[in-house]
Amino acid sequence: MSTRRVAVTGIGVISAAGTGREAFWEGLCGTPPQGVRSVNDFDPNDWFENKKEARRTDRFAQFAIGATAMALEEAGDVGGDPIRKGVLIGTGIGGLLTLEDQIITRYEKGERRVSPFLVPMMMPNAGSAAVSMRYGWQGPCETTVTACAAGTHSIGNAARLIRSGRCDAMLAGGSEAAITPTAVAGFSNMTALSSSGESRPFDVRRDGFMMAEGAAVLVLEAWERAEARGATIMGEVLGSASTADAHHITAPAPGGLGAITCMELALEDAGISAADVAHINAHGTSTPLNDAAEAAAVAKVFGTPGPPITSVKGVLGHALGAAGALEAAAIIISFDKKQLPPTAGYGEPDPEMEPVNLVVGGPQSWEPGPTISNSFGFGGHNGSLVLAPS
């Protein structure tokens, strides 16, 4: 099997912290918004040729189209054989806005008023499919649906297709738009959401996450090919891993056992050791069980205090299947800025939890190096991605 290097040559971001590279970074380093983390500056008509096409596309797929357009603008003319270019855009839920809206329509107005576009709009693969059709990329077009690990898994799997020689370029990431009344009620009733309205990763006062929406897409290319066409290489995907807790539908395995294995396998896949890691992007959802399990896992793999750690969910909230992709984009930008974003919302350590070396208070200068990014999803899905500066 070929083991080609994988370059990142473009990123596109739509988030509650900001849309586009610079606005996103400024948001990550700024004051967290209040309440649910909705994207308030997104107009789908900016990304579609006509309003009819936009109306027939669920919001999560609209996000995927917009983020991809930004990523390809940065990457430039990727070119190449369409059959060797693919799309992997993950999601946790898919077109929930459309589904909920059409259920209400059927209930209030009858079956004949249900949109004929319901199924193609609500299906989780709509984002990947829309991007593939928009740009004519005819290679593998797939959708990873592994809850909150979907974005991370998508990028790792896309990089593997390039490393193996099957593809020369991939559009990879995640997209989510699931802030609906029913979804909020469901998460709230399972006590996963913060009752305080704040996301406080690793803080003793943490009481749940803040729901968010958004998307991030990365352009991945075979390193030699990117160099040959004169592309700006922003970073490299060194490796990734995926494991299952096989423990509980929502709670992490005690002591973070699944996360430990996942991080160790990702480092092995990347060909580096724990001592080589310069930064950890934590899943850090601000839920009591997740943060404690992740802190225990990080301590086991990296020791104490370990490398500096950030959870950008203090600002972004939790964008479910898009979270890992948004965080991968934040890492790539941090390489360029030579700064690490802070963990917003943190103020008081938890004496019952393994200590973590959190970046707090403001951006922290650093010499960019290999970074591991964690994502853990309902169902016991674990994903770890290792990125490095170019």
Q: From the candidates 148, 153, 279, 381, which is the catalytic residue? A: 148
The parent domain of residue 72 ranges over 7-388
DSSP 8-state secondary structure symbol assigned to residue 33: P
Q: How many domains are contained in the chain?
A: 1
2 pLDDT band, cuts 50/70/90, is: low
pLDDT in tens, 320-367: 999 999 999 999 999 999 999 999 999 999 999 999 999 999 999 999
Closest CA to 151 of 233, 222, 64, 221: 64
CA-nearest of 183, 169, 374 to 290 is: 374
Active site residue 283: yes
Question: Residue 308 domain-assigned?
Answer: yes
What local confidence, expressed as pLDDT, does residue 3 receive? 83
Specify if 2 maps to a domain.
no
Model pLDDT, residue 1: 44
Catalytic pick among 29, 141, 153, 283: 283
Kind of pairing between the strands at 309-310 and 169-176: unpaired
pLDDT (tens digit per residue) in 114-123: 999 999 999 9
Active-site residue, 141 included: no
Res 181: pLDDT: 96
Q: What is the pTM of this model?
A: 0.97
CA triple 283-92-382, angle to 5 deg: 40
pLDDT tier, 254 (very low <50, low <70, confident <90, very high otherwise) = confident
Indicate the residue type of 21: R
Measured CA to CA, the distance from residue 242 to residue 262 in angstroms comes to 6
Active-site residue, selected from the candidate residues 141, 167, 279, 318: 318
Tokens of 172: 């990879």
CA–CA gap between residue 284 and residue 200 (Å, rounded): 9
Q: pLDDT tens-digit profile of 137-163?
A: 999 999 999 999 999 999 999 999 999
Q: What is d(CA 20, CA 67) in angstroms, rounded to the nearest whole number? A: 8
Residue 149 lies in a domain: yes
Bridge partners, residue 281, by sequence: 310, 373
Specify if 1 maps to a domain.
no
CATH number of the domain residue 338 falls in? 3.40.47.10
pLDDT tier for residue 276 given thresholds of 50, 70 and 90: very high
148 is catalytic: yes
